[in-house]
Structure 1
Amino acid sequence: MTRFGYTLMTEQSGPKQLVEYAVSAERLGFDFEVSSDHYSPWLAAQGHAPNAWTLLGAVAQATERVELFTYVTCPTVRYHPAVVAQQAATLQILADGRFTLGVGSGENLNEHVVGQGWPTIKRRQDMLREAVQIIRELFTGELVDWKGDYFEVDSARLWDVPEVPVAIAAAVSGERSVETFSPLVDHLIAVEPDKELVDGWHAARKGTGLPGDSRIVGQIPICWDTDEAAAVARAHEQFRWFAGGWSVNADLPTTAGFAGATQFVREEDVASSIPCGPDLDAIVEAVRKYWEAGFTDIALVQVGDEGQDRFLDQAAAPLLDKLRKAAG
């Protein structure tokens, strides 16, 4: 059965609002909730970037049932992997076993702030591989010493280890990253409904004798509103960065850079890639591509803080009903 999630979009809402949305989303029946982990919003119009780990700690205490994910944390530049391991273990305890650590190779937008530069994509993936290995070692609760190509760990130990082990999901985008991370992590994260990627992931895990129950977690932006024109305008104002694709988005360093790179993106361009307006069936058809590609978990992003309460009050429950019926 396909699971449907709600996105706590830290770039577009403040921390108190996000906790309120998390509680509402659980009450309405969403299966899981994912939180972005940003130091900056993509565009200044979004206007927020609270700390994801503090937020998820609060959400873990305010909710009871929904699974929680970081979507995603970069454990290589802004955070040392030893710190991420401690954060994840603590959050798993607070969430009573409902947390999955989602990791990725990061974006310049968030990582450059600590003044360590921005590595090439190959180096970022190599750093992420080593970071995952360190995190796994620390999750054992044993004393860890590590001297690798990118990181050092000096006599570190997690003193609070959760009874339920923390699963790790990695964001991957191509054959090389599938080959690298399929043996190291439990689940796949991807942002496009790419069936070849999903099939390649399963084949790679099967080839190394790993369990076949890996979850495939995706995310799709939508902009529901009773007024279609207002929905399109809001999606254009706050989500036109999405048009650049991840190969561009990963390298731009500032909100000003994203504003400049997307200055010629038109409202109709955004509307062609993000379902906007009151038509729930159109949203279902957009999401359908994901479960048909083999995704087991699909998180919705309702664009914009403005109208988020209306989406949750008016559209979320009937939309979930339609999605579950369509997905079977």
Structure 2
Amino acid sequence: MPQIGYTLSSEEHSPNDLVEHAVRAEAVGFDFVSASDHFHPWVSAQGNAPFVWSTLGGVAAATDDIDVGVGVSAPIIRIHPAIYAQAAATAAAMFDGRTFFAGVGTGENLNEHVLGDHWPEHEVRLEMLEEAVEVVRKLWSGQNVSHHGKHYTVENAKLFTLPEEEPPICVSAYGEKTATAAADFGDGFWSVGPQDTVQTWEDNGGEGPRLCQLSACVADSEEEAVSTVHEQWPNSALPGELSAQLPTPKHFEQAVQMVDEADIAEGSTLTGPDADQHVDSIQEAVDAGYDHVYVHQIGDDQEALFELYEEEVLPSFE
């Protein structure tokens, strides 16, 4: 049976609320939660962007058994891979006895430009990510590490706080080239929305957990759900590579002026109160090759999703 999870949406909620949501998700019966890692929200209406590693410490203290991941971080510019290695190792140690998924990707300019660094093209970012993962694994060995690579330097660094087992490093990929690379240097696969790139990853020898996020807005009616998504998560309807290239929430707010409610209604976000729609979409992701599927409830009303999943959706996968 697939593992069903819930998104801790850092862009929309305060850190204390995210901890409470994790507690509620565990009580409802979700198998895992995944927290997003953002410096900025996509648009200002979302209203938040707490430091994910602090939030995860609260989640570790407040929950008992639920598995946890961070999906996904970009340990290439804003966060040096040596710092990511320490942060993820500490988080994994705090979730002692549970699976901690260390999600990584090539990031978005929205979050990564904040220190004034150049935003390189995707091919370079992928090369940086592969070296970053190499640095992380060296440090997770517990040995004294010096690394002088093309993109990163580490001098005489040793991590003293490590989990008993290394977390799987799950690499986010949306195209065939990245999926092929992810199969080579990752321990798992991460995607937003079912995509056939997971098959490319598997065909190239990829092994490990395969995580997929679905977006939803459970509300009393489809019309209410579409309106909420249009107000708070219109970025989901932006085409192409805009999500990786635009630098600030203001730029996203300008771009989403081209998005109307019809675009939301016709998109991939699950809208309305129909449990069968959720069950079918999760099953579609499973059929595509994912074994971990988690759901992002857009908007303030998280309880609507919790109730629907506790009563109707999760029992369908028992």
Deviation digits for residues 160-214 of structure 1 (CA, Å, limit 9, x no counterpart): 121122211010122221222212111000123223x2222112117xxxxx5x2
Q: Verify the 8 A CA contact 2:103 2:170 in the aligned structure 1.
A: yes
Q: CA RMSD in A?
A: 1.4
Q: Verify the 8 A CA contact 2:275 2:313 in the aligned structure 1.
A: no
Residue 243 of structure 2 is matched in structure 1 by 249
Residue 201 of structure 2 is matched in structure 1 by 201
> Quick one: which amino acid aligns to residue 321 of structure 1?
L
| Shift of residue 15, structure 1, vs aligned partner | 0.7
Distance 2:105 2:240 in 1: 12
| Structure 1 residues not aligned, in runs of 5+ | 207-211
> Quick one: which amino acid aligns to residue 235 of structure 2?
W
Residue 110 of structure 1 is matched in structure 2 by 111
Partner SS state of residue 71, structure 1: strand
Q: Verify the 8 A CA contact 1:30 1:320 in the aligned structure 2.
A: no
In the superposition, the TM-score normalised over structure 1's length comes to 0.93
Corresponding residue pairs, total:
316
| Shift of residue 59, structure 1, vs aligned partner | 0.2
> Quick one: which amino acid aligns to residue 192 of structure 1?
G
- Return 97-106 or 73-82, whichever deviates more: 97-106
Residue 187, structure 1, aligned to residue 180, structure 2: no
Distance 1:94 1:320 in 2: 30
Residue 316 of structure 1 is matched in structure 2 by 309
Deviation digits for residues 238-293 of structure 1 (CA, Å, limit 9, x no counterpart): 11101114621000111111111110211121122212111111222233321110
Partner SS state of residue 263, structure 1: helix
Partner SS state of residue 154, structure 2: strand
Q: Verify the 8 A CA contact 1:4 1:320 in the aligned structure 2.
A: no
Q: Verify the 8 A CA contact 2:192 2:213 in the aligned structure 1.
A: yes
Distance 1:193 1:311 in 2: 20
Residue 281 of structure 2 is matched in structure 1 by 286
Q: Verify the 8 A CA contact 1:97 1:166 in the aligned structure 2.
A: no
Q: How does 1:43-82 map to 2 (within 5 A)?
A: 43-82=43-82
In the superposition, the TM-score normalised over structure 2's length comes to 0.96
Q: How does 1:119-268 map to 2 (within 5 A)?
A: 119-195=120-196, 197-205=197-205, 212=207, 214-245=208-239, 247-268=241-262
> Quick one: which amino acid aligns to residue 270 of structure 1?
I
Q: Verify the 8 A CA contact 2:110 2:245 in the aligned structure 1.
A: yes
Deviation digits for residues 212-245 of structure 1 (CA, Å, limit 9, x no counterpart): 5x21100010000123322111011111101114
- 1:271/1:17 CA distance change after superposition, 3 Å: same
Residue 209 of structure 1 is matched in structure 2 by none
> Quick one: which amino acid aligns to residue 73 of structure 2?
T
Identity over aligned residues, as a percent?
37
| Shift of residue 323, structure 1, vs aligned partner | 4.5
Q: Verify the 8 A CA contact 1:97 1:164 in the aligned structure 2.
A: no
> Quick one: which amino acid aligns to residue 7 of structure 1?
T
- Return 228-237 or 217-226, whichever deviates more: 228-237
> Quick one: which amino acid aligns to residue 264 of structure 2?
V
Distance 2:92 2:287 in 1: 31
- Return 4-13 or 277-286, whichever deviates more: 277-286
> Quick one: which amino acid aligns to residue 8 of structure 2?
L
Residue 95 of structure 1 is matched in structure 2 by 95
| Structure 2 residues not aligned, in runs of 5+ | none
Deviation digits for residues 112-145 of structure 1 (CA, Å, limit 9, x no counterpart): 1111121111111111000000000000000110
| Shift of residue 60, structure 1, vs aligned partner | 1.0
- Residue of 293, 297, 306 corresponding to 2:292: 297
- 1:6/1:145 CA distance change after superposition, 3 Å: same
